[in-house]
Structure 1
Amino acid sequence: MTELLHAWAIAPAALGACCLAADRGRARWPDAVVAALMLAAMVDAVLTRVVAPVYWAAAMLVAAMALAAASSPRRRRTMPAGPRGGMVAHTALGLVAMAALQLGMAHGAPADAVSGPSAAHAHGGAGAPSLGTAMIVGAIAYAVLSAGLLTRSHRALDRVQRACMGVSVLLMGGAAVV
């Protein structure tokens, strides 16, 4: 069930990345790199598991900081403080949420496949129900933030991007607690 929810989370993330690519008015290469990074991490976590989740999480946190720094109003005097700044903040928070979910999701052997004292640590969050609760609460909070920003967005592509990111994080949060 976890893999199914995680796989379903890839679809809205891919749609959001496509909307970003179609948004010629505001698409920039840092946004495209971030979208590709999130998609690669999600696909790897579901299909191949070549890269450990901790490395994906670290890469997403570094990308969130780099995106925020590159889009800083102090760094770019020409950047409008309004819609673009809100989109950067939403994307950076999305990266942080995805990094936390990557770390908290089950990527190892099932808990019943491991016996003995290490069984509680064999499954992501299996030994700590408060971690699962924190992840789902964080995912719901991000989805609510996305919905709030969605209602204030004027451009259709911005609305689709925010909706897709909120739904994707919410699905991954559900997968993290299942």
Structure 2
Amino acid sequence: MTELLHAWAIAPAAIGACCLAADRGRARWPDAVASAIMLIAMLDAALARLVAPVYWTVLLLASAMAFAAWQRPRRAAGSRAGSTPGPMTVHTGLGLVGMAALQLAMAPQPAVTIAATAHAHGAVGGGSLLSVLLVGGAAAYAALSALLVLRAHRRLDRAQLICMGASVLIMAVGAVL
């Protein structure tokens, strides 16, 4: 079931990436790179498993930090404070962090490890603290996505926000089952 939900999460992520690529109104190549990294990580984790999930997690977190550094507000000459980052920038950065957590949570584990972890501390699924945090974080991200959808003026931005929120929610459900 987890693999099926993981595969289903790819569809909205792919649609969101296509919406971003189709957005010729703005040059947002850092967003496109972030979207491509998330999509490739999801495809590999769901279909090929060529790269260990922990490495995808590291790459996604490193990408989130690089994205934040690249998108940080620039100070104008003579200005004391920079502008705040745009909502799409914040959404993309949080999406990278959320996908990193979900990649690690959805990683296949040997049966012995799952049984030992579930007995000792609570594995992902079954009402553990990690499950609550993952679902809570995914729900918060989906709520942020919904809020940004209501405020977005462009159709492609709304589509991208809806797709990313849906993808994270589907992956969170898959992680806790």
TM-score (structure 2 length as normaliser): 0.86
Q: Determine if contact 1:97/1:169 at 8 Å carries over to the other structure.
A: yes
Question: For 1:17-72, what per-residue CA distance to the aligned partner results, in whole angstroms no more than 9, with x for missing partners?
Answer: 00000001124322221111001110111111111111111111111111111111
User: 1:102, 1:142 → 2: CA distance?
Assistant: 16
- Aligned pairs (5 A) from 1:119-138: 119-121=115-117, 125=124, 129-138=128-137
Unaligned runs of 5+ in 2: none
Q: Determine if contact 2:30/2:67 at 8 Å carries over to the other structure.
A: yes
**Match for 1:93: what amino acid?**
L
- Aligned pairs (5 A) from 1:45-60: 45-60=45-60
**Match for 1:129: what amino acid?**
S
Q: Determine if contact 1:121/1:127 at 8 Å carries over to the other structure.
A: no
- Indicate how the Cα distance of structure 1 residues 73 and 124 shifts in structure 2: closer, same or farther if over 3 A, else same: same
- Indicate how the Cα distance of structure 1 residues 118 and 8 shifts in structure 2: closer, same or farther if over 3 A, else same: closer
Deviation for aligned residue 1:127: 8.5
Alignment correspondent of 1:162: 161
Unaligned runs of 5+ in 1: none
2:102 pairs with 1:101: yes
Aligned with 2:142: secondary structure?
helix
- Indicate how the Cα distance of structure 1 residues 53 and 118 shifts in structure 2: closer, same or farther if over 3 A, else same: closer
TM-score (structure 1 length as normaliser): 0.86
Q: Determine if contact 2:125/2:175 at 8 Å carries over to the other structure.
A: no
Alignment correspondent of 1:92: 93
**Match for 1:87: what amino acid?**
M
Alignment correspondent of 1:72: 72
- Indicate how the Cα distance of structure 1 residues 76 and 97 shifts in structure 2: closer, same or farther if over 3 A, else same: farther
Q: How many residues align?
A: 170
- Aligned pairs (5 A) from 1:37-48: 37-48=37-48
- Larger mean CA deviation between 123-132 and 52-61 belongs to 123-132
Q: Deviating runs (4+, > 3 A) in structure 1? A: 121-124
Q: Determine if contact 2:57/2:100 at 8 Å carries over to the other structure.
A: yes
**Match for 1:28: what amino acid?**
R
**Match for 1:119: what amino acid?**
A
